[in-house]
Structure 1
Amino acid sequence: MTKDVSELARRPAFPESVSRAVTTPLQPSVVYASPDPDTLDAQYEGRAFGYTYSREGHPNASVLASKIDAMEGVSGGWCTASGMAAVTATMLGLLRQGDHIIGGDQLYGRSLRMLTQDLPRYGITATLADPTDAAAIEAAITPATKLILVEVVSNPTLRVADMEGIAAIAKKHGLILVVDNTFTTPRAFKAFDHGADVVIHSVTKLMAGHSDAMLGYVAAKDRDHAEAISTTIITLGLTPSPYDCWMAERGLMSFNLRYDRAEENAAALAEHIAGLPGLDAVLYPGRADHPDHNRAGDLLRGRFGNMVSFRLKGGRDQANALTRAMPEMNFAPTLGDIGTTVSHAASSSHRGLTPEGRAALGITEGFFRVSVGVEEIELLKAEFERGFAVL
C-alpha cells in the first residue's frame, strides 16, 4: 500500500526525446522545488540560478523579457501584469516621500491620474509640462525633482517629444529619464540609445498584438534602479501570468511584419481621412501638416507608426453617429490589435480628466484615436467613408 501511494505522489519528468519543441513550453507552476535549504539559500543569494515562487519570476516571463531586452538593446528587463504595473513599479521603486516628478502633459490618462492624484497621497508631487518643448521641462525642475516621465509619441494626441533636448536636460541635472515607448516600440525608436535610463512598455498593445494578453515591461540601465524596480514588482505582486507571457511571445514572432504593414496602412488611411467631410483635423506624424513632422522624421528615422488621430467638427452626437455607422470597425478603448480599433478618448482613456483638462490637450468630444491594423487598405478606406458619410 505504501508503495502504491508513493507511486501516485511521484511527479514524473517529461519523457526524454531526441527532438525538441518548436514553441516555448508553457510552465504554469506557481512553486518550484529545490533539493535542500542550502540550494534555496544559493538561489536567493544569487549564487545559483533557479525559480522559487512565480511571484518572484517564472520561465515564461524570463523568456519574454529576454526577447524584449534584445529588441531594446538592454539586459535584465522584467515583465509585469500590465503596462500600468510597469509604471507603478518604476514610480514606487525609484521615488520616495518628498520627491518631485516631471511628467509630459500628454501622457496616457491613467499615467496622468497616477502623477496628479495617486502619487501625491504618498508625498510625491508632480508637475506636468509640454514634452515638445525641452525648455518647459527644464523650467519645471525643482530642488526635489528626481525623475522625468515622457512618452515619445503621446497618447492620444500623437505629439512628438523633444527627446534629444529632454535627455540632455536630464543628464545635466542628474535626473532619471523614464521613457514610455509603447506607441513607437523599438522598431521605430530605441530609447536607451537616446539617453533613457528606464524604458517602459505596455506589451498588451503592439508587441503582443492580438488583444488576448495583458502585460507590461520595464528595464533600467543602472543596476540599483533595476533592483529597486524588480523588488517593487515582487513585493506588490505585479508579476504577470505565465499564460499571458506565453501568448505574447507568440505575438512577438510576427511583430515586425505586423508593425510594418500597419504603419503602411496608417499612412494611407490618414491621407484618405483628410479628404472626407465633417473632419476638423487629422493627426499623423508622417503628414507634412503635423506640428512635429520634421522632428518625427529625424527622431523616428521615417518610422511614423500605426496610430492616427482625428477630430470631428461636431461633438458627442457626431461621435456616436460615426461609430454606429461603422459596425465592422471595432470601437474599443484599446490599441495594438492585429485589426483596426477606434477609440474615443473622452469616454475612455482620458475620461478621468475634467472637460477643461481634455480641452487643454485638444481632446474634444469629437476626438478619435485609430490603432490601424493589417487589413486590406481598401476595406479600411471603405469603412471610414461609410462612417463619415453620415456626418
Structure 2
Amino acid sequence: MSESIVRRTPWPKSSSRPVVTPLQPSVVYASPDPDGLDRQYDEGSGYTYAREGHPNATVLAQKIDRLEGASGGIISGSGMGAIGNVFLGLLKAGDHVVGGDQLYGRSLRLMTEDLPRLGIETTLADPTDARRIEAALRPETKMILVEVVSNPTIRIADMDGIAKLARDRGILLVVDNTFTTPRGYRPFDHGADIVVHSVTKLLAGHSDATLGYAVARDPALNEKIYVANVTWGFTPSPFDCWLAERGLHSFELRYDRAEVTATRLAEALAKMPGVTRVLHPSRPDHPDHNRVQSVLGDRPGNMLSFEVEGGRAAANALTRAAPDIAFAPTLGDVGTTLSHPASSSHRALTEAARAEIGISEGFFRVSVGLEDPELLIREFEDAISAARSA
C-alpha cells in the first residue's frame, strides 16, 4: 500500500523568490500548537482563517495604503462591503449620518432604506455647499459621507468646508474616493477620517475583480472596521485580490492616459449637435468650476457625463449605435464604458427625484478608457447622430 499524499507534500524550498506575488487560495492555515495559535491572535501575526485575513488581501491593502498615505487598510468583497463595514463597525441605533445627496445609487439606498431599518437616522444634503451639510447636522450626528466627485453628476464637493465643519464638530468624515482615486485626491491630506474605495473600478481597472477597501486614520476605529468585516463575512477572494494587485501596477499609467482622453472627448462632445450639456471638471462651464482647482488641481479625472435630447428613444438609439463602447453599469475599465443612470444605478429613484439631481432619460455617464481619442470621438459622433435621428 502506497503512502498517503493527502496534505503530506511540503512546499518546495528555493533560494530564489517569485517575482510575481503567489496566489494563496487556502481557507485555513495550520499552526504548530495551541501556544503558537495564541501568539498569532495576541500579536496579530500570521494567518488562521481566510475570513480573518489572507496574504493576497494583505499585499493588496498595503499597496493601496501607500497610494493613500495610510496604514492598516481593510479589503472587503466589494465597494459597498467597504462602506457597510464602516457603518456597521462605527455606528449604532440612535446615531445620525449625513450623506451627500448625489451619492452612488446603492449608497443612496443604504442611506435611505437600510440604515433607518437598523435604527440609524440619515439625512441627505447638497455636498457642493458646506452650509447645506451644516444645516442637516443634529446633536446625534456621528458621521458625514461624501464623494469628492459625485457619481454620476460629476459635481465637486466643498471638501475644505465640509472637512472644517466635521473637525470643528467632532464628526467623522468618510470620503468615498472611488472616482477621484489617490491619483486625483488624497482625502487624508485634506482632513478626512476614513477613506473607502470600490477597488473594482479604477484601481483594479480590468473589470475582472470585485473588491472594496476601507481605512481609518485612527487605529482604534480601523480595528472596529476590521472586526465588522470579519464578523459580517465580507471576505475578499484571494484570486480577486491577486488580480487587483496586478491591475495596480499599471494604475497610474492608465489613469493619466484616460484623463487626457476624457478632456479631449468632453471638448468634442460639447460641440456635437444634440448634446445639451457636458459635465467634466476640465470645462469652464462646469457648475463647480470655481472649486475645481482648489480640490482637484490639474487632475480632472477620466469620468464625464453628458445629456442628449430625445428621452428614452434617443438613449436606446445612442447605445445601439455604439456597439464597441460597452453599455454597462461600471467604470474604471481599460475600455471605455457607457452608463445610463436612469435605467441602472439610479433606477430606484422616482423620475422626479432623478430630475432633482439632474438625471434625465437622455443623461449618460462615461468612464473613459485607453482607446485612441480620435476613435472614441468618431464613435460618439455616430452614436449621437443616431440619437438625433431617433
Q: 2:111 aligns with which of 115, 126, 135?
A: 115
Q: What is the CA–CA distance in structure 2 between the aligned matches of 1:204 and 1:78, rounded to whole Å?
A: 14
Q: 2:37 aligns with which of 37, 40, 49?
A: 40
Q: Where in structure 1 are there 5+ consecutive unaligned residues? A: none
Q: What is the CA–CA distance in structure 2 between the aligned matches of 1:329 and 1:188, rounded to whole Å?
A: 25
Matched ranges for 1:229-240 at <5 A? 229-240=225-236
Matched ranges for 1:24-35 at <5 A? 24-35=21-32
Q: What is the CA–CA distance in structure 2 between the aligned matches of 1:9 and 1:378, rounded to whole Å?
A: 57
Q: Give the C-alpha shift of residue 11 in structure 1.
A: 3.2
Q: Give the C-alpha shift of residue 17 in structure 1.
A: 2.1
Match of 1:381 in 2: 377
Cα deviations by residue, 1:72-129 (Å, 9 ceiling, x for unpaired): 0010001110000001000111110000000000000000000000000010010000
Match of 1:11 in 2: 8
Match of 1:245 in 2: 241
Q: Is 2:219 aligned against 1:255?
A: no
Amino acid at match of 1:8: I
Q: 2:94 aligns with which of 83, 95, 98?
A: 98
Q: Is 2:193 aligned against 1:193?
A: no
TM-score by length of 1: 0.98
Q: What is the CA–CA distance in structure 1 between the aligned matches of 2:310 and 2:42, rounded to whole Å?
A: 61
Q: Give the C-alpha shift of residue 10 in structure 1.
A: 4.3
Q: What is the CA–CA distance in structure 1 between the aligned matches of 2:276 and 2:11, rounded to whole Å?
A: 61
Q: What is the CA–CA distance in structure 2 between the aligned matches of 1:361 and 1:206, rounded to whole Å?
A: 25
Moved over 3 A (4+): none
Q: What is the CA–CA distance in structure 2 between the aligned matches of 1:10 and 1:169, rounded to whole Å?
A: 57
Q: 2:363 aligns with which of 343, 361, 367?
A: 367
Q: Give the C-alpha shift of residue 324 in structure 1.
A: 0.7
Q: What is the CA–CA distance in structure 2 between the aligned matches of 1:268 and 1:388, rounded to whole Å?
A: 16
Q: What is the CA–CA distance in structure 1 between the aligned matches of 2:348 and 2:85, rounded to whole Å?
A: 22
Match of 2:222 in 1: 226
Match of 2:345 in 1: 349
Match of 1:163 in 2: 159
SS of 2:284's partner is coil
Amino acid at match of 2:197: H
SS of 1:9's partner is coil
Q: What is the CA–CA distance in structure 2 between the aligned matches of 1:312 and 1:297, rounded to whole Å?
A: 28
Q: What is the CA–CA distance in structure 2 between the aligned matches of 1:59 and 1:120, rounded to whole Å?
A: 36
Match of 1:339 in 2: 335
Matched ranges for 1:147-158 at <5 A? 147-158=143-154
- Percent identity among equivalent residues? 64
Taking only aligned residues, the RMSD between alpha carbons, in angstroms, comes to 0.9
Q: Give the C-alpha shift of residue 13 in structure 1.
A: 2.7
Q: 2:59 aligns with which of 60, 63, 82?
A: 63
Amino acid at match of 1:248: A
Q: 1:269 aligns with which of 265, 274, 278?
A: 265
Matched ranges for 1:139-150 at <5 A? 139-150=135-146
Cα deviations by residue, 1:36-80 (Å, 9 ceiling, x for unpaired): 11111111122x511000000000000000000000001000111
Q: What is the CA–CA distance in structure 1 between the aligned matches of 2:154 and 2:354, rounded to whole Å?
A: 14
Q: Is 2:12 aligned against 1:21?
A: no
Match of 1:172 in 2: 168
Cα deviations by residue, 1:187-235 (Å, 9 ceiling, x for unpaired): 0100001000000000000000000000000000112211111000000
Q: What is the CA–CA distance in structure 1 between the aligned matches of 2:237 and 2:278, rounded to whole Å?
A: 38
SS of 1:45's partner is helix
Q: Give the C-alpha shift of residue 332 in structure 1.
A: 0.4
Q: What is the CA–CA distance in structure 2 between the aligned matches of 1:184 and 1:370, rounded to whole Å?
A: 14
Amino acid at match of 1:45: D
Amino acid at match of 1:358: R
Match of 1:281 in 2: 277
Q: Give the C-alpha shift of residue 314 in structure 1.
A: 1.8
Q: What is the CA–CA distance in structure 2 between the aligned matches of 1:82 and 1:10, rounded to whole Å?
A: 32
Q: Where in structure 2 are there 5+ consecutive unaligned residues? A: none
Does the CA contact (< 8 Å) of 1:286 and 1:297 recur in 2? no
SS of 1:277's partner is coil
Amino acid at match of 2:297: R
Q: Give the C-alpha shift of residue 12 in structure 1.
A: 2.5
Q: What is the CA–CA distance in structure 2 between the aligned matches of 1:322 and 1:276, rounded to whole Å?
A: 13
Describe the shift of the 1:10–1:123 C-alpha distance in structure 2 as closer, same or farther (beyond 3 A): closer
Q: Give the C-alpha shift of residue 300 in structure 1.
A: 1.1
Amino acid at match of 1:367: F
The worse-fitting range, judged by mean Cα deviation, of 10-19 and 370-379 is 10-19
Q: What is the CA–CA distance in structure 1 between the aligned matches of 2:307 and 2:197, rounded to whole Å?
A: 27
Q: Is 2:122 aligned against 1:126?
A: yes
Amino acid at match of 1:289: D
Q: What is the CA–CA distance in structure 1 between the aligned matches of 2:333 and 2:122, rounded to whole Å?
A: 32
Q: Give the C-alpha shift of residue 295 in structure 1.
A: 1.0
Q: What is the CA–CA distance in structure 2 between the aligned matches of 1:356 and 1:229, rounded to whole Å?
A: 36
Describe the shift of the 1:127–1:10 C-alpha distance in structure 2 as closer, same or farther (beyond 3 A): closer
